[in-house]
Chain A
Amino acid sequence: MATESVHDVALTLHDQLPILQLVVPFLAAPLVMVVGAGRGVAWLIAFLASLAAFAISALLLAQVIDGGFLSYQIGGWAPPLGIEYRIDAVNAFLLFLISGVSTLVLPFAYESVKAEIAERNQALFYTCYLLCFAGLLGVTITGDAFNVFVFLEISSLSTYAIIAAGADRDRRALTAAYDYLVMGTIGATFFVIGLGLLYMMTGTLNMGDLADRIAPQTDNRTIQAAFAFIVVGMGLKIAIYPLHLWLPNAYTYAPSAVTAFLAATATKVAVYVLLRFSFSVFSPGFAFENYTYELIILPFAILAMFAASFIAIFQTDLKRMLAYSSIAQIGYMLLGLSLMNASGLAATMVHLFNHGITKAVLFMGVGALTLRAGSSFYASIRGMGRAMPLTAAAMVVGGLSLIGVPGTAGFISKWVLVQAAFEKGWWPVAFLIVLSSLLAVVYVWRFVETLYLHEPARDAAEAPLTMVVPIWITALACVWFGINTDITMTAANTAAETLLSGSTGLAEPSPWTSALPAGEASH
């Protein structure tokens, strides 16, 4: 085998991409703090780190988009003892989303952060931002269950800090961050309890190994309880409907750039973890897992689609409205997941991505409006569509994508989701999807109407170019991915197939990186 001969060959940078994906932002974080307050330097380092991460993720995605996976062993320690990073279409797609959104949000953040965060805190802010970014990447990339928890905590703790950074503008950010801290910790605790139970029963923490050892003991109550703890713990991070209460405040009071970044990435990463555990560690063939999805996740997903949309309709603050809309959209992702078939999973994956960029446009737009209008209340952004035509027009594009109008990214995901529901034969569910989209029409219309059909509340200039450009790049991406679906649908379909084919098992103990084709993984 070719892989045998690779053992002692000098490593190229290319082979080290998986670890570089994390190392770059992780090293940049302390660097930002050390270099410190110098105007723009902190930002520049953060941006370059993010850009590098984006490039790396694109390279990784290109390697696995057609199937197969990369396995990287930290320090050359073979799993299950050593920590393994394992990249397949599922998480490569997500790495691409996270680093892409971060790279777009950072240019936007430059002005936004200057306006919203006190200067002495800015370097610290970028440090925490990078830690959060790196943490999210880490959760996504790792193939080790406990490592997921560690990275989750890294990202969560820094998330609490960057949400609290909104306190310079609104003191309520502190309570929001504090609430999120309490709840997030409870969620993480549940998750780690679940991991503990699994470790108790299997004695391993590598995902592939876990899957192999769980398979023979599905009737074990402890294993089943572990699944419940992991689902509920992650459910909180995802903001599944009744566990969403931390989200509106956190999104509303966080700095604009943070909201844009978190809304597009953080909950998506949590959905990914749920996917990974449901399909690669546990197996969709387990009866108890099916029941959990059909009897618990599905009803709550549908509830979220409606209840959160209704709440969104009656909001008076645009940012808060979008936060509730996110909760509703998470409902769609979970719905796709609970269909438990290939097209449902593809719908979830593609909606992860499409909703990520859609919300990025909208929250960046809100940030730009806040910069000029002072707040995001409907009362103060009234008529701003005329004062800020570029920002407002991009937000309309985002709004259309949120509804799922044909020609936008949002349409693709809903179309696939509806198809998946039909495929499963659940056409009442398909009908509910369409019905709930009508609610999106209502809340999107409310802000479009507020922006355009009122006399301007104040004179304001268009947002600075550093904001308008990333907003429009993302808005155009919404349209682009609504028309050209090559990348998103291929990646989503491959991801869905990868997930459905179950665990890829423990990787061959070979040092550093080994690229394995899908079929030959477990020989």
Chain B
Amino acid sequence: MLESIPTAFLFFAMGLLAMAVPKGAARSALLVVIPLIAAWQVWTLPEGNLAPVTFFGLDLELMRVDRLSRVFGLIFCLIAALGNLYAWHLKDTVQQVAAPLYAGSAIGAVFAGDLVTLFFYWEGTAIASVFLIWARRTLGAYNTGLRYLIIQVGSGVILMAGIALLYAETGSIAFDRMTLGSLGTWCIFFAFGIKCAFPLLHNWLQDAYPAATITGTVVLSAFTTKLAVYALARGFAGTEILIYIGAIMTLFPIFFAEIENDMRRVLSYSLNNQLGFMVVGIGVGSEMALNGTAAHAFVHILYKALLFMSVGAVLYRTGKVKASELGGLYRTMPLTATFCLVGAASISAFPLFSGFIAKALILDQAAAHHHAIVWGALVFASAGVLSHSGIKIPFFTFFAHDSGMRPKEAPTHMLIAMGITAFLCIFIGVFPGTLYAILPYEVDYHPYTAAHVVGQLLLLCFALLAFGVLYRTGRHPAEIRCINVDSDVIYRKAAPSVVHIAARAISAIWQAHAGFWMRKTDLVLRGLYASHGPEGRMARVWPTGAMVLWIAILLGVTLAVIFVT
């Protein structure tokens, strides 16, 4: 019976149920159990097109299960359960309903076999997720949420335009591999790119994720961007331009992350950088590279969530999240610190941690296909990941100078959620075969060769050494209260100023213009209308006059057009 229900519907049902069940343990338990059931369902589903529907004359495929969609669907279900476990303490209906709807939309999009279904769920993720930002219930979060929503919905609108164009061109709405060329495919590519945070389209991510609630950020970090990665892998695998886009994505966030003060924004930049690796894998497009992308997405969702969880736990206990205000928290939050270190080691790709066995696939493929410069950039970026996610996050939160704060250890449910996630990070690192077995294609790769392990350790340890040298000599950038302008300055600062100036100019012109016509029409019509109008307001006089003028003008113009042509 479970087979016939699209997995997304399970989540939507969960969202509705969450409204009915009273706040507290029952609701929290519901939110953990149903994603696990969904995960089991995804695990056991046979491959194929399981839920075909005809809608509006179109043949939709709500459940296209194959190895690529299954691995993404599985990790999405898993992280939904873990994220909800982390949010066990929550008594906020808005978030508890929005999170399942959001996760459900993302999962629905992953299993969408056609572009129309994809579009519906694509917009669903945008609309449901913004409530995780608004649930912070501050003016700043509200404005940020609006910016986020506009960009996300904009991505959907462009996607719809692309689908319409593609449909007009090919008459098909199937969601399969596409080739860039026509306007339609470029629109779809661009829409995917927005959600995937391509360079210069990326800033919604760093703007929105630090603005969400503590638990909301954990959920947000998992779905939207990885959905875009999935969509790219499905639609544009082997598109060469992605290799270069991905390489740039791995590079530029490193520098921003290094000097950012808000820890959750550091992680957002780091997230962007990790997406770059996946995008390179898609660009290379070989079976092994796509394996690498899927594997990296899988482990990345886990360790990124783990990092967001640990920073979130600190925020929950101290109310602070800025590097300049944190430090020395290992004393009273040693478990959180440990889990954070596990996440840091995983993202930095230390051997025996999950990042090591996944990222290697992509690097190996980039090298195997002779993209020397891109490969160099990725190795450089690997050292960069260490600098902000591997060192900066744990070091300046839990160690470094003592902030003097002695908060309690994170609540038990958060520790459990972090513990399970940390366990998975290590388990996958130690037993890579378990993950390799569920990847889209057959894996023929052995991460634990002497050369690979030693090479990786050399890279990371010498980078650590460099950190040691720079930090001890005072050359490491200090943690100070500040922000850094990124491309968001265009729409948060420049565009509003331009609009402001334009608005003032237009209103000045308009006032002059309206005044002129008001005087004229007053003059002409005063005699006629003085005796009319029960309330005799002059304000009522001019629209009528203007209207008569307009109708005369319009008739004149129409006649002119008709006669002249």
A and B touching (Cβ–Cβ under 8 A): yes
Question: A245 near B56 (CB under 8 angstroms)?
Answer: no
One digit per residue, 1 when the CB lies within 8 angstroms of any chain A CB and 0 when it does not, for chain B 537-550 equals 10010011011101
Question: A422 near B164 (CB under 8 angstroms)?
Answer: yes
Which residues of B511-565 have CB atoms within 8 Å of chain A's CB atoms?
532-535, 537, 540, 543-544, 546-548, 550-551, 553-555, 557-559, 561-563, 565
A426 interface residue (CB < 8 Å to B): no
Please tell me which one of the listed residues A236, A405, A419 contacts residue B164 in the complex, with CB atoms under 8 A apart: A419
Question: B544 near A182 (CB under 8 angstroms)?
Answer: yes
Question: A228 near B551 (CB under 8 angstroms)?
Answer: no
At the interface with chain B, which of A141-149, A172-180, A350-358?
A172-180
Question: A227 near B164 (CB under 8 angstroms)?
Answer: no
A187 interface residue (CB < 8 Å to B): yes
Question: A232 near B551 (CB under 8 angstroms)?
Answer: yes
B120 interface residue (CB < 8 Å to A): yes
Chain A residue at smallest Cβ distance from B146: A445
Please tell me which one of the listed residues B547, B562, B565 contacts residue A246 in the complex, with CB atoms under 8 A apart: B547
B480 interface residue (CB < 8 Å to A): no
A34 interface residue (CB < 8 Å to B): no
Question: B565 near A287 (CB under 8 angstroms)?
Answer: yes
Question: A406 near B551 (CB under 8 angstroms)?
Answer: no
Q: Given A175-B535, A418-B164, A406–B548 Cβ distance below 8 Å?
A: no
Question: A431 near B161 (CB under 8 angstroms)?
Answer: yes
B178 interface residue (CB < 8 Å to A): no
Q: Given A179-B543, A422-B164, A422-B165, A296–B561 Cβ distance below 8 Å?
A: yes
Q: Given A419-B164, A434-B157, A175–B537 Cβ distance below 8 Å?
A: yes
Question: A434 near B551 (CB under 8 angstroms)?
Answer: no
Residues on the B chain within 8 Å of A242, using CB: 550, 553-554
Whole-angstrom distance from the CB of B468 to the nearest CB of chain A? 51
Chain B residue at smallest Cβ distance from A449: B142
A190 interface residue (CB < 8 Å to B): yes
Which residues of B107-143 have CB atoms within 8 Å of chain A's CB atoms?
119-120, 123
CA distance A431 to B161 in the complex (A): 8
B153 interface residue (CB < 8 Å to A): yes
Question: B565 near A288 (CB under 8 angstroms)?
Answer: yes
A39 interface residue (CB < 8 Å to B): no
Question: B562 near A245 (CB under 8 angstroms)?
Answer: no
A501 interface residue (CB < 8 Å to B): no
One digit per residue, 1 when the CB lies within 8 angstroms of any chain B CB and 0 when it does not, for chain A 228-264 equals 1101100110001011011001000000000000000
Q: Given A178-B532, A423-B168, A228–B559 Cβ distance below 8 Å?
A: yes
CA distance A240 to B555 in the complex (A): 13
A221 interface residue (CB < 8 Å to B): yes
Question: A296 near B534 (CB under 8 angstroms)?
Answer: no
One digit per residue, 1 when the CB lies within 8 angstroms of any chain B CB and 0 when it does not, for chain A 190-234 equals 100000000000000000000000000000010011011101100
CA distance A179 to B548 in the complex (A): 11
Question: B555 near A232 (CB under 8 angstroms)?
Answer: yes
CA distance A427 to B183 in the complex (A): 11
Whole-angstrom distance from the CB of A156 to the nearest CB of chain B? 16
Please tell me which one of the listed residues B119, B123, B161, B553 contacts residue A430 in the complex, with CB atoms under 8 A apart: B161
CA distance A178 to B558 in the complex (A): 27
CA distance A186 to B546 in the complex (A): 13
A295 interface residue (CB < 8 Å to B): yes
Residues on the B chain within 8 Å of A246, using CB: 543, 547
Which residues of B56-73 have CB atoms within 8 Å of chain A's CB atoms?
56
A480 interface residue (CB < 8 Å to B): no
Chain B residue at smallest Cβ distance from A176: B540
Please tell me which one of the listed residues B160, B555, B561, B563 contacts residue A190 in the complex, with CB atoms under 8 A apart: B555
Chain A residue at smallest Cβ distance from B539: A175
Whole-angstrom distance from the CB of B119 to the nearest CB of chain A? 8
A506 interface residue (CB < 8 Å to B): no
Question: A422 near B168 (CB under 8 angstroms)?
Answer: yes
Residues on the A chain within 8 Å of B546, using CB: 245
Q: List 16 A-B contacts (CB under 8 A).
A: A172-B535, A175-B540, A183-B547, A183-B551, A187-B551, A190-B555, A225-B562, A229-B555, A232-B555, A245-B544, A245-B546, A292-B561, A295-B561, A296-B554, A419-B164, A438-B150
Q: Which of B153, B537, B546 has the most CB of A within 10 A?
A: B153
Please tell me which one of the listed residues A231, A423, A483, A485 contacts residue B558 in the complex, with CB atoms under 8 A apart: A231
Closest 7 CB pairs of A and B: A228-B558, A242-B550, A288-B562, A245-B543, A245-B547, A291-B565, A174-B534
Which residues of A432-447 have CB atoms within 8 Å of chain B's CB atoms?
434, 437-438, 441
Residues on the A chain within 8 Å of B543, using CB: 179, 245-246, 249
Residues on the B chain within 8 Å of A437, using CB: 157
Question: B120 near A227 (CB under 8 angstroms)?
Answer: no
Please tell me which one of the listed residues B56, B161, B548, B554 contacts residue A235 in the complex, with CB atoms under 8 A apart: B554
Question: A171 near B535 (CB under 8 angstroms)?
Answer: yes
Which residues of B148-167 have CB atoms within 8 Å of chain A's CB atoms?
150, 153-154, 157, 160-161, 164-165
Residues on the B chain within 8 Å of A183, using CB: 544, 547-548, 551
Majority DSSP secondary structure for residues of A touching B: helix
Question: B562 near A178 (CB under 8 angstroms)?
Answer: no
Whole-angstrom distance from the CB of B182 to the nearest CB of chain A? 12
Chain A residue at smallest Cβ distance from B153: A441
Please tell me which one of the listed residues A179, A224, A236, A427 contacts residue B562 in the complex, with CB atoms under 8 A apart: A224
Whole-angstrom distance from the CB of B56 to the nearest CB of chain A? 6
Question: B561 near A225 (CB under 8 angstroms)?
Answer: no
CA distance A405 to B540 in the complex (A): 37
Please tell me which one of the listed residues B535, B558, B559 contacts residue A174 in the complex, with CB atoms under 8 A apart: B535
Whole-angstrom distance from the CB of B116 to the nearest CB of chain A? 9
Which residues of A254-295 have CB atoms within 8 Å of chain B's CB atoms?
287-288, 291-292, 295
CA distance A483 to B55 in the complex (A): 8
Whole-angstrom distance from the CB of A399 to the nearest CB of chain B? 13
CA distance A485 to B168 in the complex (A): 20
Residues on the B chain within 8 Å of A291, using CB: 561-562, 565
CA distance A419 to B537 in the complex (A): 46
Residues on the A chain within 8 Å of B555, using CB: 190, 228-229, 232
Residues on the B chain within 8 Å of A485, using CB: 56
Residues on the A chain within 8 Å of B565, using CB: 287-288, 291
Whole-angstrom distance from the CB of B332 to the nearest CB of chain A? 38
Whole-angstrom distance from the CB of A105 to the nearest CB of chain B? 27
One digit per residue, 1 when the CB lies within 8 angstroms of any chain B CB and 0 when it does not, for chain A 393-435 equals 0000000000001110000100100110011000100110010
Whole-angstrom distance from the CB of A192 to the nearest CB of chain B? 14
Question: B534 near A171 (CB under 8 angstroms)?
Answer: yes
CA distance A49 to B533 in the complex (A): 35
Residues on the A chain within 8 Å of B533, using CB: 175, 178
Residues on the A chain within 8 Å of B123, using CB: 405-406
Residues on the A chain within 8 Å of B547, using CB: 183, 236, 243, 245-246
CA distance A407 to B120 in the complex (A): 9
Residues on the A chain within 8 Å of B153, using CB: 438, 441
Known: A296-B561, A422-B164. 13 other contacts (CB 8 A): A171-B534, A183-B544, A187-B551, A224-B562, A225-B562, A228-B559, A232-B551, A232-B558, A287-B565, A405-B123, A415-B164, A427-B183, A438-B150
Question: B120 near A292 (CB under 8 angstroms)?
Answer: no
Which residues of A143-175 have CB atoms within 8 Å of chain B's CB atoms?
171-172, 174-175
Please tell me which one of the listed residues B540, B551, B561 contacts residue A236 in the complex, with CB atoms under 8 A apart: B551
Question: B534 near A221 (CB under 8 angstroms)?
Answer: no
CA distance A54 to B540 in the complex (A): 38
Whole-angstrom distance from the CB of B86 to the nearest CB of chain A? 27
Please tell me which one of the listed residues A232, A287, A405 contacts residue B554 in the complex, with CB atoms under 8 A apart: A232
Residues on the B chain within 8 Å of A227, using CB: 562
CA distance A295 to B562 in the complex (A): 10
CA distance A291 to B154 in the complex (A): 34
Chain A residue at smallest Cβ distance from B558: A228
Question: B550 near A221 (CB under 8 angstroms)?
Answer: no
Residues on the B chain within 8 Å of A231, using CB: 558
Residues on the B chain within 8 Å of A232, using CB: 551, 554-555, 558
Whole-angstrom distance from the CB of A385 to the nearest CB of chain B? 14
